[in-house]
Structure 1
Amino acid sequence: MPFINIRLVREVIASDPEGKKAEIAGKVTDAITEATGLAADDVWVVFEEVAARDWFVGSKSVHTRRNSD
């Protein structure tokens, strides 16, 4: 049973978290079922939301990087 863990910056999906997660999960599930032949119910997708202030690229947070432009 595939277990897919998706981490993303919370603010990216803030306008519609449920809808965006459902869309992403559906597309990821479709790709896995197509590639493996497994049933969709055999694919688990879990989301972890991380605040932009807690996600770093190098020594700068995503929040800082986005606001420095």
Structure 2
Amino acid sequence: MRLFYKKCSNLLGLYKAKRWTILDAYYVTTRYPNSLPDGILANVFTREAAENAVALAEEIVSYVEGKIE
């Protein structure tokens, strides 16, 4: 049973990590405004996208805090 739990736990971690890779798209484009030569950041990143990114970041922080406690 312990091995089953460990494998499921690893799969859950992989699932979360895959979802969290969405945040990679925000790093360069929001840090360097000229990284989108034909785009205006305000048109690319909507309020909904920003709220989703914040929710993912909060999820990551909670996950990491749970691992270090």
Does TM, scored on the shorter chain, surpass 0.5? no
**Of Structure 1 and Structure 2, which has the larger fraction of its residues in helix?**
2
Give the strand-richer structure, 1 or 2. Answer: 1
Q: Which of the two has higher C-alpha Rg? A: 2
User: Which is bigger in relative contact order (C-alpha 8 A, separation at least 6)?
Assistant: 1
